[in-house]
Homo-oligomer: A and B are copies of this chain.
Amino acid sequence: MSGLAGYRGEALALLEEAGLSVGDLIKVETSDASFEGYLMPRYELADPLHIVIKLKNGYNVGISVKKIRSIVKLAEGEKPKYTPPPPPKLNTNLPKVLILGTGGTIASRIDYRTGAVHPALTAEDLHASVPEISEVAQVDAEVLFSIFSENLRAEHWCKIAEHIHTSLQKGYSGVVVTHGTDTMGYTAAALSFALRGVPIPVVLVGAQRSSDRPSSDAATNLLAATLVASKAPFSGVYVAMHAGLSDDVIAIHHGASVRKNHTSRRDAFQSINRKPVAYVKDGVIQQIDPNLPPRRAPQHDFKPAARFEERVALLKFHPNFDPTIIDYLVDKGFRGLVLEGTGLGHVGHYCYNPIKRAVDKGVLVGMSSQCIWGRVRMTVYDTGRDLLNMGVLPLDTLFPEVALVKMMWVLGNTDTLEEAKKLMLTDLVGEFTQRLHAEEQRGF
């Protein structure tokens, strides 16, 4: 790792001239402010006009090099000569769990206090950060990739699914997938379908706060995810994240029913149209949903179906929505469209002709609701009935993100439109909710 990792252009020149390295404690004076903090490394595609420092309050700031009047080193940083922590003592009576790194705040091995970058997620690192993990499982760690989750695509979902399939042969009792929270809900849905019938628990986990923040949720989430992967009596794909603002309860969400509903809160993830399937509290798994598939032996006969059609779009309807976007995508060869309609599943009548044309051209068109919660019901009003008559599929309790992922999966795994339509409306992994419970659940 270079001393100025990720910097380029004017920013790199400025830092080189000042003799600085990532990790140095520096003081920066700009035309309108003064900052003290640790010089941070940059990731991917960094712009050449800003430097980033971590303030003592834990926040990062980007500072325009155009505004910098002076920049001085206050103290030498710990240089990124990374010495791995010693291997933990393994309790060989515990189940084996694979922790698979894909990126995100939770797997970040940057030591923000020093700026030192530890690009790999090793079992030793994990044990060093969260020693309690050794009490619930024998952990192996692998980094599959290290990507901001907004950059993940269907090809990554396939790689994760295939890697988990391969790992099953090694006898893991469960797999934990560390993931950026931005698109963790999409990936959880994708793995739910791709790994349908997986014999062990696969638990996605993220962190809303990086591990150097006092309020970090990284360790508690990871520990709960590892516990579920190791010992839960059920199999399938789940997401483990804080259930509320307190530190002690982690919700285990059904992988095809979970959504990120807050930009920053630790309890941002919520089960939609259902409760979490379980909670983890005080090291104990409390199962709420009695209908989960049971855990089976990891080598149980199982084949993933890790194929996704990429030519599927999610289109959110709104007043003055331009319906020619539908024509544009159909002409471009898209095979599926999920509409995010209003209310029970409606769009303005000015969208009728493009939708009819899409259906006539053999495009699979499904309707979900931007309300997020509740059920699409297109038989109540004329707009809904008109759309049904055109051949638009009412996607019931599938909220838009899961509807999109399911359609990508269905079109990737079927040969005919009729088969695809049938699968879209079939409950494959518990993604549909039969009865919406009337009692309140928590929101924001």
Contact = CB atoms under 8 A, between A and B. Distances in A.
Contact of A349 (B151, B316, B342): B151
Interface string A295-335: 00000000000000010111111111110110011001010
A45 B264 CA distance: 45
B318 A186 contact: yes
A50 B385 contact: yes
A325 B313 CA distance: 10
Interface string A406-444: 001000000000000000000000000000001011111
Contact of A444 (B52, B310, B345, B440): B440
Contacts of A400: 316
Interface stretch (A133-141, A357-365, A373-381): A373-381
A76 interface: no
A196 interface: no
B320 A408 contact: yes
Interface in A237-296: 244-245, 260-265, 268, 270, 272-273
Contact of A342 (B50, B183, B380): B183
Contacts of A42: 382
A326 to B, nearest CB: 11
Contact of A371 (B150, B260, B322, B379): B260
A222 B182 CA distance: 40
A347 interface: yes
Contact of A382 (B44, B328, B408): B44
Given A151-B349, A262-B373, A441 B438 contact: no
A260 B49 CA distance: 41
Contacts of A264: 344, 374-375, 377
A340 B316 contact: yes
Contact of A386 (B46, B345, B376): B46
A389 B260 contact: no
A203 interface: no
A109 B226 CA distance: 58
B263 A377 contact: yes
A231 interface: no
A131 interface: no
A167 interface: no
Nearest to A6: B382
Contact of A374 (B268, B334, B347): B268
A400 B376 CA distance: 21
A62 interface: yes
A153 interface: yes
A181 interface: yes
A371 B268 contact: yes
Given A329-B322, A371-B262, A401-B318, A389 B50 contact: yes
B46 A319 contact: no
A316 B314 contact: yes
A383 interface: yes
A132 interface: no
Given A342-B149, A346-B148, A444 B319 contact: no
Nearest to A350: B151
A153 B319 contact: yes
A90 interface: no
A154 B346 CA distance: 18
22 contacts: A45-B386, A46-B386, A47-B385, A49-B389, A59-B380, A62-B385, A150-B317, A150-B349, A152-B319, A157-B319, A183-B319, A261-B371, A262-B371, A263-B344, A264-B375, A273-B444, A314-B318, A318-B404, A322-B332, A372-B372, A440-B444, A443-B443
Interface of A: 42-47, 49-50, 52, 59-62, 148-154, 157, 180-183, 186-187, 244-245, 260-265, 268, 270, 272-273, 310, 312-322, 324-325, 328-329, 332, 334, 340-350, 352, 369-377, 379-383, 385-386, 388-389, 400-401, 404-405, 408, 438, 440-444
Q: Can you list the 6 inter-chain pairs with the closest CB atoms, starting with the nearest?
A: A443-B443, A263-B374, A182-B342, A182-B343, A150-B346, A373-B444
